[in-house]
Amino acid sequence: MKIEFGGDFIVQRTPEEVYKFLVDPERFCPLLPDYQSMQKQSDKEFSVTMRVGISHIRGKAIVKMALVEELPPTRAVYHGNGDVPSGTTSMRAGFDLEPNGTGTKVLWKGEAQIGGRLPSLAGGLLEPLAKKNLQKLIDALQAALA
């Protein structure tokens, strides 16, 4: 199952400030919905653990993430692979930053591929939940950058 997402928002911070925040997993990861922990392997690689709960499926998701593309202060792209209850996930998420008056316009987009039994077990609940959690993350990012 493939889920695509994207959007934009404006914050009153410079592109340099926003970029530094987005490429720092110690600042960024705790904003993830149902975040439990993060373990850094290097400056560009880390694993994040989150609680997962949808319908009767409960457990932890452990996703190994890497900053695979960086162009300070205008672009950052992450790629991740991980295990979720009854499945696997592969994702890519990118941020493009543009000066906007005294602030920065943040354009974000990405996709997640979810495999295994999870999509069939979760039925039609998976995509709406993913989009709801993504909106929570974007709201938290906006608040943290305000």
pLDDT above 70 for 55: no
Distances (CA, A) of 114 to 23, 66, 127: 24, 18, 10
pLDDT tens-digit map of 77-93:
999 999 888 889 999 99
pLDDT above 80 for 54: no
What average pLDDT does the segment 34-49 reach?
Answer: 96
Pairwise pLDDT comparison (105 vs 55), residue with the higher score: 105
Is the Cβ–Cβ distance between 68 and 91 less than 8 Å?
A: no
- Per-residue model confidence (pLDDT) at position 121: 67
Distance of CA 144 to the CA centre of its chain: 15
- What's the CATH code, domain 2-145? 3.30.530.20
pLDDT above 70 for 67: yes
Three-state SS annotation for the chain: CEEEEEEEEEECCCHHHHHHHHCCHHHHHHHCCCEEEEEECCCCEEEEEEEEEECCEEEEEEEEEEEEEEECCCEEEEEEEEEECCEEEEEEEEEEEEEECCEEEEEEEEEEEEEECHHHHHHHHHHHHHHHHHHHHHHHHHHHHC
pLDDT above 70 for 61: yes
90: tokens are: 């592969």
pTM: 0.89
